[in-house]
Amino acid sequence: MDVSEAKDAIHSLLGRVSPRALPKVIQWMRTSSEIEELTTSNSDILLHNIADSLRNHLPLEAMVLSEDLAIENIQRLQKPTLHVDAFLYNDDTIDSLCEEGKMSRNYCMSCGSTKTAPLDFLSHSFSILELKFLFHNVIPDLSGKTLLDVGSRLGAVLYAGYVYSSASKLEGVEINAEFCNLQEKIINKYNFSDRIQVHHSDICSQKSLLQQADVVVLNNVFEYFLKKEEQIKAWIFIYENLRKKGCLVVTVPSLQESFNKLQVNLQLSQWAEEVEVDTDIFLGPDTDQEALSDIHLYRVL
Ligand SMILES: C[S@@+](CC[C@H](N)C(=O)[O-])C[C@H]1O[C@@H](n2cnc3c(N)ncnc32)[C@H](O)[C@@H]1O
């Protein structure tokens, strides 16, 4: 049943409910956890289990000492900012950690006082809800296709691609060896090696992966991790080698925003066209519409 058939069926069903009962039925549809549970699948549960396993291998801040530049860049931000990995921690887990005193949503503005202000949170991974949105609502059917995640980090995009899509190959390229080892552990533990492969490498030495992929994901990939000149070099390399006609490119933030920040003059309109993403969707009670609208989709011309 597609969306319009489902709407027709619900209309016709509600049309048969007595006028006295109708407000109660609508209230139940809007607030009941039974309806919310319909949005949870076994695949979601598997991803939550993977997040559990990963949390056991990482410190709370989910960053490693070898990414000193990224740590420094976060510390240099104007507003006090905490890295909270959205794949590992959803709102409920953050609330529990705050209650246990292990995490805080606020910082003290003048030490010793009760004057506090909210911390900014930054995530280096997509959340499980964003990943579900990506594979169910942004990227079309991936049967027989190859997806490449540039900067695969914890492997969140790859595991989600495994459980939510029929992609025949899910490739990750990650420059940080510690994160590659962690991804290998998960791939072996969950038997994902028939479709997932991770390369410990700089994307700038992986021309053929870029040239062959059908879908390429670039989630905040370079900004915190590379110096400005290296970021420019990496974007030029991607621009020159991601040329397969029809290839889909998923980015956060938009390509325009990344290019403008770096003042790099690449002819976007001659390379790719933006495809509209419909974010008017309910994925669960934690759906963050703003985060969904940061996701941009392009088709290579
Ligand atoms: C923000 S994380 C993206 C995580 C993941 N793709 C996701 O969406 O959940 C960016 C990752 O890109 C990696 N990275 C940065 N520059 C890279 C490069 N030139 N080649 C490969 N990986 C790179 C970083 O080490 C970091 O782990």
Within the chain, which residues score under 50 in pLDDT? Answer: none
Do the beta carbons of residue 213 and residue 238 sit within 8 Å?
no
The residues, ordered by sequence, that sit 6+ positions from 238 with a Cβ below 8 Å of its Cβ are 150, 203, 210, 218
Question: Which tokens go with 3?
Answer: 């969306």
Q: Is 235 in the pocket of ligand 1 (CB under 6 A)?
A: no
Q: Is 221 in the pocket of ligand 1 (CB under 6 A)?
A: yes
Whether the Cβ atoms of residue 157 and residue 50 lie closer than 8 Å to each other: no
Q: What pLDDT score was predicted for residue 97?
A: 83
pLDDT at res. 109: 67
Closest by Cα among 172, 177, 89, 72 to 125: 89
Q: If you take atom 14 of ligand 1, which residue's CA is the nearest one? A: 151
Ligand 1 contact, 180 CB (< 6 A): no
Delimiting residues of CATH 3.40.50.150 domain(s) in the chain:
128-300
CB-facing half-sphere around the CA of 55: CA atoms within 13 A: 17
> Under CATH, domain 128-300 is a member of which superfamily?
Vaccinia Virus protein VP39 (3.40.50.150)
Rounded to the nearest angstrom, the distance between the alpha carbon of 222 and the centre of ligand 1 is 7
Rounded to whole angstroms, the Cα distance separating 300 from 298 reads: 7
Q: Mean pLDDT across the chain, nearest whole number?
A: 92
According to the model, what pLDDT value does residue 283 have? 81
**Alpha helices of the chain — where are they, by DSSP H?**
3-15, 22-31, 33-37, 42-57, 68-75, 91-99, 128-133, 156-164, 177-189, 207-212, 228-241, 255-262, 268-271, 289-293
Nearest CA to ligand 1 atom 5: 152
**pLDDT for res 112:** 58
Contacts of 253 (CB under 8 A, 6+ apart): 220, 294, 296
Question: Pocket of ligand 1, candidates 174, 232, 242: which has the most ligand atoms within 8 Å of its Cβ, to mutate?
Answer: 174
Residue 108, pLDDT score: 66
Distances (CA, A) of 281 to 277, 284, 285, 290: 11, 9, 11, 12
Half-sphere exposure for 257 (CA within 13 Å, toward CB):
11
Residue 100: per-residue pLDDT: 86
pLDDT of residue 290: 85
For residue 218 the two structure tokens come to: 């670039």
From residue 56, give the alpha-carbon distance in Å to each of 121, 209, 222. 21, 31, 26
Residues linked to residue 298 through DSSP beta bridges, in sequence order: 249, 274
The protein residue with its alpha carbon nearest to ligand 1, atom 2, reads 124
Among the atoms of ligand 1, which is closest to the Cα of residue 234? 19
